[in-house]
Structure 1
Amino acid sequence: MSMRILTLIFTIFTTGFAFAQQQIDVAKVKEHPRLLLLANEESKIKSEIKNDKAWADVNDAIIQECTAITQLPTIERKMIGRRLLQTSREALRRVFFLSYAWRMTGRDEYFKKCEEELLAVSKFEDWNPDHFLDVAEMTLAVAIGYDWLYPKLSQSSKDIISKAIIDKGLTPALNPKHNGWQRGKNNWNQVCNTGITFGALAVFEQQPVVATQIIEKAIQSIKLPMAAYGPEGNYVEGYSYWAYGTSFNLFFISALEKIFDTDFGLAKEPGFLQTASFYQNLIGTSGIPFNYGDAGGNEGLQPAMFWFADKLKDNSLLSIEKEYLQTSKYNVKTNRLLPAAMIWGKGVKLNEMIAPKTNLWFGRSENEIAVLRSGWERGKDIYVGFKGGTASVGHAHMDAGSFVLDMDGVRWASELGMQQYNSLESAGLSIWDMSQKSQRWQVFRLNNHSHNTLTVNGKLHNMVGNAKLVSKSDDANNTRAVFDLSPVFQPDLQQAQRGIAIIDKTYVTVRDEISTADKEAVVRWAMLTPAKVENLKAKEATLTSKGKQLKFYVEGLEEVKLQTWSTDPPQSYDAPNPGTTLLGFELKLPANSKRSFNVVFVNADGKIVDKAKLKSLSNW
């Protein structure tokens, strides 16, 4: 496509947008390779891995995986539902790994396989612009491969690959039909701006005018989702989407810094540099993440954390990454951004990765959480992830008031996490409609009936209600937080507050204080557990898991009777939930009444709980 046509498209595209254009110095655009790792910067990585076995092991894991990739057939264009995303992600993994391996070893088999993959995806009919994340990740992959292999690529390969970046990446990005992400405030903006900017930087010589405009606009556009990190770094979309959106955001910033010697002030956006603490605190002492909302399982080694540690000169941010380095949790089959850890790691030593001393983390945001802990020792210290917030933000569930609990290295109170989108979309559900009556809230894993919270009169939570933190303390002997859940239960309850405390670093209490409105209310208290429920009595039960036991009992209610509920899928489209049980009780409360009670968790052989410490929330 000619520069004139591209420029015309961009002119139409920018009409009506209010972004102030950030000017870049095009004279600073370097020769290839110019993205993330400049020419001869491999030597520093090679030097570091010679002197540090941990980093040598990561490097070796990447190289070994590349050898395996060379035996795979070239990637094909395979749609899953409406997405090409899995293909784009596998392309990014292969290209990033292979191009890294070639730069580190000079071995021709890695170059040839990477070139084959680049040519294969370049010949796809398109990169699926109707679901633009697919285009963004593919453009990022091809841009890195093109840039890193550039010195050795034939002119024919350069022409094919660069044309694909322009025609299948940049051109659809300039089409108003496909670029709503530019105005978005979520991970789509971060991922798409990053992928398209990498594409623009990779082919800068061919399209300098359009590339300049794309980059300048992206610098302003990406500030929209970055604003959500403020003021303390809480990422509203939770664990997995932090890893996604933030990692791509760092690729964007790193590319700017490498080429223009500045990030144009992006890292100073309120809360952004603090968000590493948020992510670090989402891993419990069981090693399992606090996976609220549409979150998956453990991400393993996170390259982004090394960028933050280096930027802040704070290696205490790497205590979780240290565990992954020591246990080889690199996830080379799925961690498509892993080579970035070698670039951003800066050779930091394992003995420098010392755990923080904090026992409370809280971040104000649209979707608030608090994390409480007795310490950071894996398998020993207590960990509680406590959720307030709202179901009205992207990828949220109806989980206000929910919590996860780790004691003795076991996850006792847990989250089911996300259900794969394609399984729900294939069933015809409209899961991206966030309104109260949306089909999204009929999905068991997404509504309050599967979460560790209250349900009133069998109803769904009020999805626009937002539970805010009202008090907190990092007192080592009474670490605590209280959320006001009232907006989530209106009009059925007049007031509802929940507090969770770790007392004497030994046991945990969940206290609920409820006031009914002018009608009686049936309140269900429920907790999802992967443990075996034993010795179920009226007010107490024993939980058993992994050779450990935990005593669960209710204090402050005489009429309570504990029971369990099945987590079998209620609908045909619901995912199975094997090995889990809901434990709790129901209360029928009269109109205009108040009720307060505690649920206590203590080791089966632990100390006797001092009931005097189970205070009203007003005294917390």
Structure 2
Amino acid sequence: MCCMCSTAIVSAQSVKIDTSRIMGHPRLLLLPGQEEGIKKNIASNIAWGKVHADILEACDSLLDKPALERVLIGRRLLDKSREALRRIFFLSYAWRMSGKKKYFRRCEEELLAISAFTDWNPSHFLDVAEMTMAAGIGYDWLYKDLSPASRQRISEAVITKGLTPSLEEKYNGWLRGKNNWNQVCNAGISFGAAAVYESRPALAAQLIERAIQSVQIPMKEYAPDGNYTEGYSYWAYGTSYNVFLISLLEQLFGTDYSLSQLPGFLKTPFFYEHVVGLSGKPFNYSDCGDGTEGLQPAMFWFANKLKDPSVLWQEKDNLEKGRSMAKWNRFLPAAMIWGKDVDVTAVPSPAATWVGDGENPVALLRTSWNKQSGIFIGFKGGTPAAGHGHMDAGSFVLDAEGVRWSADLGMQGYESLESKGLQIWDMGQASDRWKVFRYSNFSHSTITVNKALQQVNGRATFLKHSGDSLFTRAVMDLGSLYAGSLTKAVRGIAIANKQYVTVRDEWEAGDSTCTVRWAMLTPAHVVSIDKNQVQLQNNGKKLTLYVNGLPEGAALRTWPTDPPNSYDALNIGTVLVGFEMTLPAHTKKEVTVLLVPGEGQVMIKKSSLLPLSEW
């Protein structure tokens, strides 16, 4: 492991890149002669050989397709920018690995097509960033064989449609942002700048130095533990581009100017590895999908950097499954580059527990990495005000026996909401964002008080946690999310004796009577409800939800997840299960819910029913 030290933060004024170190083409990602290392890897490893073959097969499928056209979806060109990156990265990789002119000609055609676009849509600058990176890689990797006319057209497009717009204040607000936009845009522009360095050396140096300074803002969000505020899917986006930027700096200048040493950054692969549960699904809180991202190239970069193959547990699984990812994973050639020196046959199992603090703290607890017999819990704190946030503080997902029992609906496509006129990027309490069912606490495995939204400015924090293998646990203070209604709201979740899960809530009402709803979103079928227990069935497996201390007058029930508004997405195959109870003013209540997988009897430990102060 590398030592993380706060003194490693780069001083913006002290960074001056040494442009004399910039070599000829190709200079981005894969240097001359490094193809041989990839060829040896694919010859000796069947799994890597299949990834390589999938990339070439995808390239062959592109040969007869028309080049991309500038067609926006709503306000975005982003799908075209991403497809441009996939096509150009793949085709230029195929050219360098095979030397076959068919790949070169098709890649050049795509480069000239995007160069002819009127612009790369700078009003939504992610579009520009990804297009600039695509053009930069293609230009660099094909440079020696491009005609002078093609070089001129492509380099001019990179400069006028990518680099120059990034200097305009109306387009570059991302320079001050702390989210994925900063990482993506700085990396994309830096790749373009490095690719066309000979044409505009002063501008290229200016933009790369600017990126080193600016990217520290979102990188500070990894502190202290490597948690990524925007969740699993945006980790795969923002962190991947951050790694591309650092890799670029290392290759161009022999240093990353200590960026990788910023607190938390070299811990973040452990977050990404642990956030995938035993069902194979990620803990998809915030604006994340419920499927995995597949093979993640950045994880191989981290494994090399840390000299720790244990971060590749999920990647080894992805490789062994042999699923083709070439139709959608535009970063895939980077896995071939960063993975060529990694032995994926000898990956030790990681630790069972990972807990990360930060703006959106999360606990990822499991009994083992055995998908068929293990238990996994993802437990989230944080605030709805975080980037891409939902009102999901206190929510949890649960996997047992390879099946997901407590789930998260995840994101809804932005265009489906923006096209209806909803202002979903306003994070205020009265925002349209919280009118979206999937974004509100009404759809999550957490509590709702008085049928009201969580407080946007509230933040749930961990009070304590433990990796004790017989009582793996985390306790969270949710009180500020319900300010004005509850004076206390504390939730603890534990895996007891490696056999079942305990969810304990302790509440105290304020000056008025409250109605508290305890709910769990599940994709399982509700087989029966009998007094204080619910029988669930999913994919041939069973789980019992048992409430210890069900309040008098409360009854277990279900709520539908049908879209309440015309703009809401469908939530097919899910239901909410739980109970509502009345909490008189200034009274306290403790409720423990046990989630027991399987059909056999389980001995309930007394520690599962103890007050959270004794956990």
Any idea what the Cα deviations from partners look like across 1:231-253, whole Å, max 9, x if unmatched?
11001000000000000001000
1:409 aligns with 2:402: yes
Conserved 8 A contact 1:21-1:220: no
Shift in Å, 1:101: 0.7
- Cα drift, residue 612 of structure 1: 1.7
Partner of residue 424 from structure 1, selected from 417, 421, 424: 417
Q: Which residue of 2 aligns with 1:439?
A: 432
Q: Work out whether 1:96 is the aligned partner of 2:89.
A: yes
Partner of 2:321: 327
Matched residue, 2:3: none
- Matched with 1:484 is 477
Quick check: 1:615 aligned with 2:610?
yes
Native 8 Å contact 1:330 1:338 kept in 2 = no
What code does the residue aligned with 2:82 have?
R
Match of 1:582 among 576, 579, 586: 576
Amino acid at match of 2:612: L
SS of match in other structure, 2:487: strand
Calculate percent identity across the aligned residue pairs: 56
What is the letter of the counterpart of residue 342 of structure 1? M
**Alignment of 1:194 onto 2:191:** no
Greater Cα shift, 196-205 or 605-614: 605-614
Quick one: structure 1 residues 488 and 160, their matched pair in 2 at CA, closer, same or farther if it must change by over 3 Å?
Answer: same
Letter of the 1:139 counterpart: T
Report the 3-state secondary structure (helix = DSSP H, G, I; strand = E; otherwise coil) of the residue aligned with 2:408: coil
**Residue among 36, 39, 46 paired with 2:39:** 46
Deviations 1:407-428 (A, max 9, x none): 0000000000000000000000
Secondary structure of 1:400's counterpart equals coil
How many Å separate the matches in 2 of 1:491 and 1:120? 58
Pair 1:293-2:292 in alignment:
no
Matching of residue 318 in structure 1 with residue 312 in structure 2? yes
Whether the aligned pair in 2 keeps the contact of 1:436 and 1:462 (CA below 8 Å) is: yes
Provide the residue aligned with 1:57 in structure 2: 50
- CA–CA distance in structure 1, aligned partners of residues 331 and 324 of structure 2: 10
Q: Which residue in the other structure is 1:8 paired with?
A: none
In structure 1, list runs of 5 or more residues that go unmatched.
Answer: 1-17
SS of the aligned residue for 2:145 comes to coil
C-alpha distance in structure 2 between counterparts of 1:93 and 1:413, whole Å? 35
Aligned to 1:127: 120
Among 296, 303, 308, the alignment partner of 2:302 is 308
Q: Does 1:144 align with 2:129?
A: no
Confirm or deny: 8 A CA contact 2:496 2:605 kept in the other structure. no
CA contact (8 A) 2:309 2:344 kept: no
Whole-angstrom CA distance in 1 between matches of 2:264 and 2:344: 27
1:524-583: CA deviation from partner (whole Å, max 9, x where unpaired): 001110010011122111111111011111011242311111101000010000000010
Where do 1:446-485 residues align within 5 Å? 446-485=439-478
- Is the aligned partner of 1:84 residue 2:92? no
Q: Equivalent of 1:606, from 585, 600, 607?
A: 600
Amino acid at match of 2:544: K
- Give, in angstroms, the shift of residue 177 of structure 1: 1.1
Selected match of 2:343 from 349, 352, 359: 349
State the shift of 1:611 in Å: 5.2
2:253 maps to what in 1? 260
Q: Distance in 2 between matches of 1:351 and 1:377?
A: 17
**2:7 counterpart residue number:** none
Structure 1 CA distance, aligned partners of 2:55 and 2:13? Answer: 41
- Mapped partners of 1:315, 1:432: distance in 2: 38
CA distance in 2, matches of 1:113, 1:604: 55
SS at match of 1:35: coil
Question: Unpaired segments of 5 or more residues in structure 2?
Answer: 1-10
What is the CA distance between 1:210 and its match in structure 2? 1.0
**Alpha carbons of structure 1 residues 600 and 450: separation in structure 2 relative to 1, 3 Å:** same
3-state DSSP class of the match of 1:412?
A: strand
Pick one of 241, 244, 267 that aligns with 1:274.
267
- Alignment partner of 2:511 out of 485, 508, 518: 518
- Give the corresponding residue for 1:381: 374
After TM superposition, the score normalised by the length of structure 1 is 0.96
Report the residue type matching 2:327 in the other structure: K
User: Which of the numbers 147, 150, 154 marks the counterpart of 1:154?
Assistant: 147
Question: How far 1:50 moved relative to its partner?
Answer: 1.1
CA drift at 1:22: 1.4
Amino acid at match of 1:616: P
- The one-letter amino acid of 1:481's match is A
Number of residue pairs matched? 602
